[in-house]
């Protein structure tokens, strides 16, 4: 690459820096929402060829004290939250009483468990399985 490549890279970087600094007044006017930002952009573009205009455009971009209002309307406020609804407390749960007693182990057979009859006696499911496999 040598010296010629280095010089080429430096020229490209210099041009990029000049254009970035040259366009700065237009960016300042746009970011500050200046009322004459279009005219400042024209002056900025012309200042790339006539460099004294750059100073005029930069000073002009910072001179306006009051920015123009935005052209969009803010979103309306959300509606107020509805009043909370209070409900009466639920009645306490009624615990089902045991239906039967297991004749083998003495455990209560609940309402959800099926009682089984083994040789004329009422037994639970666990005892029925043991009794059937044993006898």
Is residue 64 classed exposed, middle or buried when 0-12, 13-18 and 19+ CB atoms within 10 A define those classes?
Answer: middle
pLDDT in single tens digits along all 135 residues of the chain: 568 888 999 999 999 998 888 889 998 998 888 888 899 999 998 988 888 888 999 998 888 756 556 666 677 888 888 887 777 777 777 766 657 889 989 888 887 888 888 888 899 888 988 888 877
What count of Cα atoms within 13 Å lies in the side-chain half-sphere of residue 4? 1
With beta carbons less than 8 A apart as the criterion, state whether 123 and 103 touch.
Answer: yes
For the chain, give the secondary structure using H, E and C: CHHHHHHHHHHHHHHHHHHHHHCHHHHHHHHCCCCCHHHHHHHHHHHCCCCHHHHHHHHHHHHCCCCCCCCCCCCCCCCCCCCCCCCCCCCCCCCCCCCEECCCCCCEECCCCCCEEECCEEECHHHHHHHHHHC
Tokens read off for 131: 């009794």
Residue boundaries of the structural domains of the chain: 2-63, 100-134
Q: What is the pLDDT of residue 42?
A: 92
> How far, in Å, CA of 44 to CA of 54, rounded?
6
């Amino acid at each position: 690459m040598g010296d010629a490549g280095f010089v080429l890279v430096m020229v490209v970087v210099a041009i990029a820096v000049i254009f970035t600094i040259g366009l700065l007044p237009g960016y300042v006017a746009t970011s500050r929402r200046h009322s004459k930002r279009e005219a400042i952009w024209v002056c900025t573009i012309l200042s790339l060829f006539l460099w004294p205009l750059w100073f005029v455009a930069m000073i002009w971009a910072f001179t306006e004290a009051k920015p123009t209002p935005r052209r969009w309307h803010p979103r309306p406020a959300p509606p107020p939250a509805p009043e909370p609804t209070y409900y009466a407390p639920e009645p306490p749960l009624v615990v089902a009483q045991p239906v039967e007693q297991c004749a083998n182990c003495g455990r209560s057979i609940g309402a959800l468990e099926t009682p089984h009859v083994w040789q004329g006696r009422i037994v639970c499911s666990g005892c029925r399985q043991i009794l059937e496999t044993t006898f």
